[in-house]
Structure 1
Amino acid sequence: MNQVIFNDAQRIVSVNGTTTRLTEKEFLLLQLLYSNKGEIVERDTSLSSIWKNVDEFTRRSMDVYICKLRKKFKSFFEIESIHSQGHKLIEI
């Protein structure tokens, strides 16, 4: 199990002592996925809670953020895309 600490005020995530500063949307998305780790977080849930909008532009925008999070945390987490449903965070 990874030791994960979220610092909301500075949007910093520390995983096993490795600290990463994130943008606001990256931070909120990772926090949402992590709080539901092992479960599918529906796309529309992520979009409405973080982007406050569910349309094609925000869907593509979220895909970009998912890619960024995958790269930044590839040593600690896997973020699976579940076709037509959403995303699932799995600890490595």
Structure 2
Amino acid sequence: MQIYRNKLGRADHAIAVGAGFASGDYDLRIPAILGLPLTWWERACFRSKLRADIRDRSDFLRDIGIDVLEAHAEACRLFWQPITLKRP
């Protein structure tokens, strides 16, 4: 743990340098952060298409084993929330 000092030389906070991933692989942070907008955009597009399918083709969802209520709950989630809709 490294101590950072303010301008007056007092140690205000003890900060663990490199605290992040338990695996110790710190190089994964940058690509993950840069890829986050793409992931969010893909989720938003998926949920938009899912809302259209609920509205127009709800019988097709039942045919592939997805309940309309589950699909509606997934479509209402926000873009930063992971996709939880899984086919059986």
The TM-score normalised by the length of structure 2 is 0.29
Name the structure, 1 or 2, with higher relative contact order (CA <8 Å, separation 6+): 1
Structure with more of its chain in helix, by fraction: 2
Higher Cα Rg, which structure: 2
TM-score by length of 1: 0.28
Greater strand share, structure number:
1
